[in-house]
Amino acid sequence: MGLFDKFERIEQSLDTLKQYSESFFNVVLQEIISSTEAVINGKRTILAGTNNYLGMPHRRECIEAACQAIQEHGTGTTGSRMANGTYAIHVELEKELSRFLHKNHTIIFTTGYSANLAVLSTLVGPKDIVILDADCHASIYDGCRLGGVQVYRFRHNNVEDLEKRLKRLATKDTNILIAVEGLYSMLGDRAPLKEIVELKKEYNAYLLVDEAHSLGVLGRNGRGLAEEQDVEDDVDFVIGTFSKSLGSVGGYCSSNHHKLELLRYASRPYVFTASSSPANIAAARKALEIIEKEPQLRTRLWENANLLYSRLKDLSFTIGPAPSPIIPVRFKEIPKAFAAWNGLLENGVYVNMVLPPATPDGTALLRCSLSAAHSLEQVEKIAQAFETIRHLA
């Protein structure tokens, strides 16, 4: 038995998938034209499958801030936060995020993935319990695995199922952490945070909310779902990323817990990896400043989301329950989903193809995501491209 024999199933799946599309797993954006357009397969294509909700990667101010940071601080930090990798700009961004999110403490990490890995693997251990929404991101699962915590899943957004588990598991000498997302990355639906907060209080549990897809997208000030549902003070740990609305790379955890700072000393994904580059930090800081100054960006994003949602609904596609910047379009048959995905590309529109097991119920879905940077004309073109593949759904 060789080391690579265990990948046989993956190899077989890839062979099967290749009959539908050669380029599916290897889409190359050959030239980036803007936040909403790139050249793919030699063709100018509208990007409708990114997490670029606010168009920050191409904002002149963010690019200038990143370039200036490279000039001033160099291209990389060559060290972890714990050693030589904490610059004044990292500390400034932690303060700015705390102020923005109305939390007392923030720790930034090199990615959103490592933020979840770091926080979950350190906060909870084998004697504790995490009850998580079944649709939570892989980084939440992996953090639990690294910490060796006991994990129980509840059905996606199903508060009764969560309560059933809490009733069974809550004992006086066990810590329970409930982990959910704000806006879910695949289905674009929101967690019922108000009800979850009620349960957290009733069963004396902690609550962690990953607002990766909701920062800058939800809430009057863009602070996320907890702001929108008016439960910010009841969320113990907010996780986020710079890789979506902030258009950079990095992650954070913010909390009012006065001992949050101790995680810096105990958390391996904080201690044993290099810190975010100066360019990434500077771009994220500038984007956060823009989010605060330009609420109209959120308005634009939602105009686009509402328009595409209503166009796809009128075309009778099976889509999510409510408008959202993430719109999943379901296909019962995987070959037809591939044909649709290819058809969209041929019509100059790129969306994400999501296959089981990443999809919740074994169906395939095409995940559209919108940006404030899309023009109404581009959204209309996306809708028209979908019209051409309507017969496949």
- Contacting residues toward ligand PMP, per CB under 6 A: 111-113, 116, 137, 139, 181, 185, 210, 212-213, 241, 243, 251
Cα–Cα distance, 17 to 161 (Å, whole number): 35
Provide the minimum distance between the beta carbon of 393 and ligand PMP in the complex, in angstroms, as a whole number: 25
Provide the minimum distance between the beta carbon of 61 and ligand PMP in the complex, in angstroms, as a whole number: 21
| 244 or 374: CB nearest ligand PMP | 244
| 253 or 329: CB nearest ligand PMP | 253
Provide the minimum distance between the beta carbon of 390 and ligand PMP in the complex, in angstroms, as a whole number: 29
Please give the C-alpha separations between residue 116 and each of 241, 269, 321, in angstroms, as whole numbers: 10, 9, 28
Q: Do 220 and 204 touch, CB atoms closer than 8 A? A: no
| 184 or 206: CB nearest ligand PMP | 184
Which residue in 114, 185, 267, 371 is the catalytic one?
A: 185
Provide the minimum distance between the beta carbon of 186 and ligand PMP in the complex, in angstroms, as a whole number: 9
| 55 or 251: CB nearest ligand PMP | 251
CA 201 from centroid of its chain's CA atoms? 26
Q: Has 13 been annotated as catalytic?
A: no
Please give the C-alpha separations between residue 314 and each of 49, 382, 383, in angstroms, as whole numbers: 21, 14, 10
Provide the minimum distance between the beta carbon of 182 and ligand PMP in the complex, in angstroms, as a whole number: 8
Which residue in 244, 248, 255, 324 is the catalytic one?
A: 244
Which residue in 105, 137, 156, 213 is the catalytic one?
A: 213
Cα–Cα distance, 272 to 264 (Å, whole number): 11
| 45 or 116: CB nearest ligand PMP | 116
Which amino acid belongs to residue 128?
A: D
Q: Has 213 been annotated as catalytic?
A: yes
133: β partners:
154
Range list of H helices, the chain: 8-18, 60-73, 88-101, 112-123, 138-147, 159-169, 193-202, 225-228, 263-266, 268-271, 278-293, 296-314, 334-346, 376-388
Which amino acids are annotated catalytic? 185, 213, 244
